Chain A
Amino acid sequence: MISIKNLHAEVEGKPILRGVDLEIPDGEVHAIMGPNGSGKSTLASILAGREEYEVTQGSVTYKGQELLEMDAEERACEGVFLGFQYPVEIPGVSNLYLLRAALNARRKYRGEPEIDAVEFMQMAQEKIGHVGMSMEMAKRGVNEDFSGGEKKRNEIFQMLMLEPSLAVLDETDSGLDIDALKVVSDGINRLRSPERSVVLVTHYKRLLEHCVPDRIHVLYQGQIVRSGGPELADTLEAEGYANLETDEAAATS
Chain B
Amino acid sequence: MSAAEQIDPSIDHYLAEFSRVERDLPGSDDSKRTRSTELKRFADAGFPTTRDEQWKYTSLQAVEKRRFEISDEPAAIDKSALDAFMPADFEAHRLVLVDGHFSQALSDLSGLPDGVTVRSFAAHLRENDGVDVRAREIDDEPGSIAAMNAAFFTDGAYVETASGAVLDKPLHVICVSSGAHDDRMTQVRHRYVFGDNSQATIVEHAIGLGDKAYFANVVTEALMGRNAQMTRVRLQQESERGYHVSAFFGQQRRDSRIYNHAFDLGGRLARIDTNSRLVDQNAEVHLNGVFVPTGRQHMDNHTTIDHDTEHSVSREHYKGVAAGHGRGVFNGRILIRKDAQKTDSDLSCDALLLSDKAEVDAKPELEIYADDVTAGHGSTVGQLDEDAVFYLKSRGVSEEGARAILTYSFANALVEQLGIASIERYVEAAMLKKLPGGEAFADLA
- A-to-B contact residues, CB < 8 Å: 45, 48-50, 52, 71-73, 75-77, 81-82, 84, 86-88, 90-93, 97-98, 101-102, 105-106, 109, 141, 158, 162
Q: Which one of B84-92, B165-173, B189-197, B380-388 is at the interface?
A: B380-388
Contact B444 A76 (CB under 8 A): no
Assembly CA distance A162 to B391 (angstroms): 14
* B393 shortest CB reach to chain A, Å: 4
Contact A73 B405 (CB under 8 A): no
Contact A162 B395 (CB under 8 A): yes
Q: Which one of B101-109, B329-337, B363-371, B406-414 is at the interface?
A: B406-414
Query: Which residue among B388, B398, B413, B416 has the maximum number of chain A CB atoms within 10 Å of its CB?
Result: B398
B441 interface residue per 8 A CB criterion: yes
Known A-B contacts A90-B409, A92-B413, A101-B401; A50 and B395 likewise in contact (beta carbons under 8 Å) = no
Contact A101 B397 (CB under 8 A): yes
Query: Which residue among A48, A84, A92, A93 has the maximum number of chain B CB atoms within 10 Å of its CB?
Result: A92
B398: chain A residues at CB < 8 Å are 73, 105
Assembly CA distance A242 to B208 (angstroms): 71
State which size class the interface on B falls in: 20 to 34
Contact A105 B388 (CB under 8 A): no
Contact B393 A76 (CB under 8 A): yes
Assembly CA distance A77 to B397 (angstroms): 9
B399 interface residue per 8 A CB criterion: yes
Assembly CA distance A58 to B388 (angstroms): 28
* A158 shortest CB reach to chain B, Å: 7
Contact A88 B395 (CB under 8 A): no
Contact B385 A88 (CB under 8 A): yes
Assembly CA distance A141 to B388 (angstroms): 13
B396: chain A residues at CB < 8 Å are 73, 76-77, 101-102, 105-106, 109, 162
B399: chain A residues at CB < 8 Å are 71, 73
Closest to A74 in B: B396
Q: What 1/0 flags go to B403-432 for Cβ under 8 Å of A?
A: 001101100110010000000000000000
Contact B393 A90 (CB under 8 A): no
Closest to A98 in B: B395
Assembly CA distance A140 to B385 (angstroms): 20
Contact B408 A92 (CB under 8 A): yes
Known A-B contacts A93-B408, A97-B444; A72 and B413 likewise in contact (beta carbons under 8 Å) = no
B392 interface residue per 8 A CB criterion: yes
Contact A90 B388 (CB under 8 A): yes
Instruction: Choose one: A50, A101, A106; the contact of B441 (CB below 8 Å).
Output: A101
B413: chain A residues at CB < 8 Å are 91-92
B390 interface residue per 8 A CB criterion: yes
B394 interface residue per 8 A CB criterion: yes
Please name 27 pairs of A and B residues whose Cβ atoms are closer than 8 Å in the assembled complex, sorted by A.
Answer: A48-B390, A48-B394, A49-B390, A50-B390, A71-B399, A73-B393, A73-B399, A75-B394, A76-B393, A76-B396, A77-B396, A81-B394, A82-B394, A87-B391, A88-B387, A90-B388, A91-B409, A92-B409, A92-B412, A92-B413, A97-B444, A98-B392, A98-B405, A101-B441, A102-B395, A105-B396, A106-B396
Instruction: Choose one: B386, B390, B406, B441; the contact of A90 (CB below 8 Å).
Output: B406
Kindly list 15 other residue pairs between chains A and B, CB separation below 8 angstroms, not including A88-B387, A92-B416: A52-B386, A71-B393, A73-B396, A73-B399, A76-B395, A77-B396, A84-B394, A88-B388, A88-B391, A92-B408, A93-B405, A93-B408, A98-B395, A102-B396, A162-B395
B395: chain A residues at CB < 8 Å are 76, 98, 101-102, 105, 158, 162
Query: Which residue among A86, A87, A93, A97 has the maximum number of chain B CB atoms within 10 Å of its CB?
Result: A93
The 7 closest A-B pairs by CB, nearest first: A92-B412, A105-B396, A76-B396, A72-B393, A102-B395, A88-B391, A88-B388
Assembly CA distance A93 to B441 (angstroms): 11
Query: Which residue among A77, A84, A98 has the maximum number of chain B CB atoms within 10 Å of its CB?
Result: A98
Assembly CA distance A86 to B391 (angstroms): 10
Assembly CA distance A91 to B416 (angstroms): 12
Contact B409 A93 (CB under 8 A): yes
A81: chain B residues at CB < 8 Å are 394
A97: chain B residues at CB < 8 Å are 444
* B420 shortest CB reach to chain A, Å: 17
Contact B405 A90 (CB under 8 A): yes
Contact A72 B390 (CB under 8 A): yes
Closest to A101 in B: B397
A84: chain B residues at CB < 8 Å are 391, 394
Assembly CA distance A72 to B412 (angstroms): 26
Closest to A106 in B: B396
A73: chain B residues at CB < 8 Å are 393-394, 396-399
Closest to B443 in A: A97
* B287 shortest CB reach to chain A, Å: 21
A141: chain B residues at CB < 8 Å are 409
A75: chain B residues at CB < 8 Å are 394
* A74 shortest CB reach to chain B, Å: 9
Closest to B391 in A: A88
B388: chain A residues at CB < 8 Å are 88, 90
Contact B409 A102 (CB under 8 A): no
B416: chain A residues at CB < 8 Å are 92
Assembly CA distance A75 to B397 (angstroms): 11
* B405 shortest CB reach to chain A, Å: 6
* A60 shortest CB reach to chain B, Å: 16
B392: chain A residues at CB < 8 Å are 90, 98
Query: Which residue among B393, B401, B405, B413 has the maximum number of chain A CB atoms within 10 Å of its CB?
Result: B393
* B321 shortest CB reach to chain A, Å: 14
Assembly CA distance A92 to B428 (angstroms): 11
Assembly CA distance A45 to B394 (angstroms): 9
Contact B394 A49 (CB under 8 A): yes
Contact B409 A105 (CB under 8 A): no
